[in-house]
Structure 1
Amino acid sequence: MRCTVRGVRVDGVTEDYRILNRANWDERASLHAASPDYRVARFAAEPDFLSPVVRFDLPLLGDVRGLRGVHLQCHIGTDTISLARLGARMTGLDFSPASLAQARELAERTGSDVDFVEADVYEAVSVLGSERFDLVFTGIGALCWLPSIERWAQTVAGLLRPGGRLFLREGHPMLGAIDESVTDGLTLGYPYFETPEPMVFSDDSTYVETDGRLGQTTIHEWNHGLGEVVSALLANGLTLTGLTEHRSVPWNALPGRMTRDEHDEWRLIEHPERVPLSYTLQARKS
């Protein structure tokens, strides 16, 4: 999953965030599977093809052959299948049944031995079992859909075996705090830190090229400060082993101010040194 390019901000909370966000992601699933940006046809045609997200991760990800891994918030499974192609024994978990239907279809088309499980991320330990995994992978644009980074860290710790590893690449909370509707500068318009109430937005578009529009438009998001993420993991028995900030992100997060680079990533056209756009965090369970 990835955070949306935000639309109109809406006041108030009308429903449980999971109901609203799940309805939105169920509609995105078929649009994303048909989008050229997800490259589903290349997965089917090229047995060694990897998603651009996982290709970017490779220098820090290293060798995952033989590891039992779980990909939390796996969406339509392109990153999950990419990790399986690198030799990991993968399980993908997501709360959207429509997304998992697309993931299972892609796994069948590609002959990938991947299990896909429907569950909310906070229920992952009870559904999958505790201390079963060598690797927890959380791809970019996932944490913004979760209200509590502490509960997420508890989930990661519960899934990992002793010595197991977390690999997280995520949109930077500085990017999450920027108001993309202000186009003549980088303006902070949203919280950097986690807040009790969500940011509520309404938007009928998504972050990749599609031919359709969304009918379920209301979404709830939260930002999580970098220190909050690190502190939650440390408090739950993980040791930080790596933290790298990047000047790029895989989607056009600030339309009109970004350009696509040779790695299929988006960078600021002007002054890319002024703000981090994403980060990679690695940690190990003691």
Structure 2
Amino acid sequence: MSDYLTLNQANWDQRAPLHAASKGYAAQRFIDEPDYLSDVVRFDLPLLGDIRGLRGVHLQCHIGTDTLSLARLGAQMSGLDFSQASLSEARALAERCGVAIEFVESEVYRAAQVLPRATFDLVYTGIGALCWLPSIDSWARTVSELLKPGGRLFIREGHPMLWALDESREDELVITQPYFERSQPMVWDDASTYVDTDTPLTATVTHEWNHGLGEIIGALLRHGLQISALVEHQSIPWEALPGQMRCDANGEWHLKHAPWRLPLSYTLQAIKPL
């Protein structure tokens, strides 16, 4: 296992129980309310459409709340993640909700080695996932390998323009990070996570990468997929730029001032031709 995987896996193993216990992931609501969906999947519904009966896989599924939500919409879901601790939380939540989901431990680039190739109607990737991968081309190859002919990729992600901004600035939008993919990672050392918790992390160092929108689309095209839809959004489901954002009633965050200046997230869909 390379250094970036070792470091990132240790970090996510520590995050998993904190996220599962947090208000933000709403695990108890999933247990108490059989129709409850995650905020992320609820936002996706108008573009996601009817997925009843589809065989789907959620790459980088973490503790499985989005995976569970997709299963509640009628898909036969699998979830894949490299964090054993995350999958432990995901399995426990699915079991308590009485929903059958196969969870598989693997890093993304080996997904087609541990899951059956060319058998999935839907490959889903949720928000905040691609930044943990060094090569967008390898990701696109994996997606293509998993999809059966006629199958669809659905991804909503943070916009690479957002990832390039300095999140510590509360007065203006300042570009300080790479927009395009680079071989060298952005290295962070942070004892906190993005949910409210009093427990600091001890595995604090992580490696991340940005991938330009053109790089993502180009990689999918190179691996034989056809882009079927692309929508850029003026919102994102967390306070990505503290001090510069407001939250709406649906849990989506927008820029307070002139929100048309910046795309915060995007939804991309692609089809594997028949």
Question: Structure 1 residue 241 and structure 2 residue 216: aligned?
Answer: no
Deviations 1:117-166 (A, max 9, x none): 00000000011021010000000000000000000000000000000000
- 2:198 & 2:89 partners in 1: Cα distance? 17
What amino acid maps onto 2:168 in structure 1? Answer: S
Deviations 1:158-216 (A, max 9, x none): 00000000000000000000011222210000000000110000111111222321111
Report the equivalent of 1:162.
149
3-state SS of paired residue (1:44): helix
Question: Structure 1 residue 52 and structure 2 residue 39: aligned?
Answer: yes
Question: Structure 1 residue 261 and structure 2 residue 272: aligned?
Answer: no
What amino acid maps onto 2:190 in structure 1? Answer: D
Question: Structure 1 residue 190 and structure 2 residue 140: aligned?
Answer: no
Deviates more, 1:83-92 or 1:15-24: 15-24
- How far is 1:32 from its partner? 0.2
TM-score normalised per structure 2 = 0.98
Equivalent of 2:20 in 33, 42, 48: 33
Report the equivalent of 2:115.
128
3-state SS of paired residue (1:79): helix
Report the equivalent of 2:158.
171
- 1:204 & 1:34 partners in 2: Cα distance? 17
3-state SS of paired residue (1:248): coil
Alignment of 1:211-250 (within 5 A): 211-250=198-237
Report the equivalent of 2:168.
181
Is the 2:171–2:244 contact (alpha carbons within 8 Å) kept by the matching residues of 1? no
TM-score normalised per structure 1 = 0.94
- 1:68 & 1:97 partners in 2: Cα distance? 23
Report the equivalent of 1:12.
none
Equivalent of 1:139 in 118, 126, 133: 126
Equivalent of 2:192 in 199, 205, 208: 205
Report the equivalent of 1:64.
51
Is the 1:248–1:278 contact (alpha carbons within 8 Å) kept by the matching residues of 2? yes
Equivalent of 1:103 in 87, 90, 94: 90
- 1:265 & 1:32 partners in 2: Cα distance? 19
- 1:211 & 1:262 partners in 2: Cα distance? 26
3-state SS of paired residue (1:191): coil
- 1:281 & 1:267 partners in 2: Cα distance? 20
Report the equivalent of 2:139.
152
3-state SS of paired residue (1:185): coil
Question: Structure 1 residue 81 and structure 2 residue 54: aligned?
Answer: no
3-state SS of paired residue (1:151): helix
- How far is 1:263 from its partner? 1.5
Report the equivalent of 1:91.
78
Report the equivalent of 1:42.
29
Report the equivalent of 1:3.
none
- 1:210 & 1:61 partners in 2: Cα distance? 32
Report the equivalent of 1:8.
none
Report the equivalent of 1:9.
none
- 1:165 & 1:278 partners in 2: Cα distance? 19
- Uncovered stretches (5+) of structure 1, i.e. residues with no partner: 1-14
Deviations 1:218-239 (A, max 9, x none): 0000000000000000110100
- 2:40 & 2:185 partners in 1: Cα distance? 27
What amino acid maps onto 1:231 in structure 2? Answer: G
Is the 1:31–1:211 contact (alpha carbons within 8 Å) kept by the matching residues of 2? no
- 2:227 & 2:196 partners in 1: Cα distance? 36
- Uncovered stretches (5+) of structure 2, i.e. residues with no partner: none
Is the 1:80–1:90 contact (alpha carbons within 8 Å) kept by the matching residues of 2? yes
Q: Which runs of 4+ in 1 moved over 4 A?
A: none
3-state SS of paired residue (1:249): coil
